[in-house]
Chain A
Amino acid sequence: MTTLMYGLVTGILFGFLLQKGRVLRYDRQLGALRLIDMTIVKFMLSAVLVGMVGVYLLSDLGLAKLSIKPMIFGGVVPGGLIFGIGWGLLGYCPGTSLGAVGEGRWDAVWGIVGMLCGAALYAEAYPTMKATALTWGDFGKVTLPQILGISHWFIIPLFIIGGLALFRWFEKKGL
C-alpha cells in the first residue's frame, strides 16, 4: 500500500513538472523530431544529468540499487526503431500521453487505446519473440563504465560537460 502511495505521489510530481516544462504537447514532441524545437531534449537531458549524479551517489553509498535493463540487440534495436515510428505518428510517449490528456489534449486518448492494443498484440507475440529476437545479441545488463572499464565518476563529468555544451549550442541556435 505504501509502495502504491509512493507511486501516486511521484507520478503527480512528475506530471506537474512535465506540464510546467511544456513538454507534453504534440507540437513539442514533433518539434524535437523535426529538429526545430529542442524543449523536450533540454528537459530530458537535464533530468538525466541530475539523476545520474544522484543515483550513482546513492548506489555508491549503498542506499539504493541500480536497475539495469539488459542490452539485447535483437530486442532493443528493432523495438526502439518500431517505437520511434509509432512515436512519430502519435506524438506522445506512453507516459506523456496520460499527461497530455491531463492538460486537455484528448487526441492522446486514441493513442492510449492504440497503446493498449499494441500491448495486447505484443503479449500474443511474446513467446515467438522470446525464442527468436530476444536471443540475438544478448550482452546482459551492462553499463557504459563497465564496457569502457573505467569509473563512473570519470564518465559522469564528461556527460555533464557535453550536456552543458549542447545546451549552449541550442540556445545560440534558438532551438
Chain B
Amino acid sequence: MKEKDDGGWSPYLAGSLSGLVSIGSVWFAGKYFGASTTFVRSVGMVEKAVDPERAARMPYFMKELPVVDWQWMFVVGIFIGSLIASTTSGSFRWQAVPDMWEKRFGPVQWKRWLTAFVGGTIGMFGARLADGCPSGHGLSGSMQLAASGFVALVCFFIGGMIVARLLYGGGERK
C-alpha cells in the first residue's frame, strides 16, 4: 500500500522537528499554529471588496477582522515551504487526481474536483463551528492538553473515518 518515496524523512523526525518549530513560535512570537481562521479573513477581504458596507456589518467579520495577520502569513508560508521542499527533492508532482482516488473512482477529473470543493465547503463550516482545525485543535490544542483539542480531534477522526468507509468500503486491508 505504501509508496516508495526516496528523499522523504521519517514522520517521527519531521513531526518532532515541527514540534520544536511550534515551541519556537510560542516562545518568540507568542503564536500557536492554526489555519482555518485565515480562510475567514480571506473571504472577509473578498466580501469587503464586493460590498464593504455589508461586510462591515457582519458580526463574524467584526470578530475575525479581514486583515493579513500572523496566521495568514503562516498559511502562505506553508505553501512556500512545501514548494521549496518538493522542488529541491524532486518529489514535486503536478497531479490533478490523487493515486488512491484514481484507483477507486477512475481518472475523471471533474468528479474529484467537485468532491474536493464540496468537502472543502462542508469541512470549513465545521472547522469554524468547532473553532479550529487539525492545526488549531489537533496540534496546538492537544499539546496544551486542552479538553477542546482532544474532543475535536476525536470528532475529526470519527467524521472522517465514516466518510472514508463510505467512499472506499471496509476491505482492501493489507
Which of B98, B115, B124, B154: most chain A Cβ within 10 A? B124
C-alpha spacing A99/B91, complex, angstroms = 13
**A4 interfacial by beta-carbon distance below 8 Å:** yes
Contacting pair B119 A111 (CB below 8 A): yes
Q: Is A44 an interface residue (CB 8 A)?
A: yes
Please report whether the interface of chain B is mostly helix, strand, loop or mixed according to DSSP: helix
> Distance in Å from the Cβ of B170 to the closest Cβ of chain A?
9
Contact B122–A118 (Cβ < 8 Å): yes
A76 touches B131 (CB 8 A): yes
Interface membership of A135, Cβ < 8 A: no
Which residues of chain A have C-beta atoms less than 8 A from B75's C-beta?
A: 11, 94-95, 98
Q: A47-B139, A118-B124 in contact; A90/B115 too (CB < 8 A)?
A: yes
A119 to B131, CA, bound (A): 12
Interface pairs (28), CB distance under 8 Å: A6-B31, A11-B73, A11-B74, A11-B75, A11-B79, A13-B21, A15-B79, A35-B173, A43-B18, A46-B11, A47-B15, A50-B19, A75-B129, A76-B137, A78-B129, A79-B127, A80-B152, A82-B159, A84-B162, A87-B160, A89-B163, A110-B116, A114-B119, A114-B124, A115-B120, A122-B129, A123-B47, A144-B150
- A23-B14, A70-B131, A82-B123 are known; give 14 further A-B pairs, CB within 8 A: A7-B31, A14-B74, A23-B11, A49-B16, A56-B144, A68-B144, A79-B128, A79-B155, A83-B159, A86-B124, A91-B101, A99-B81, A103-B86, A123-B61
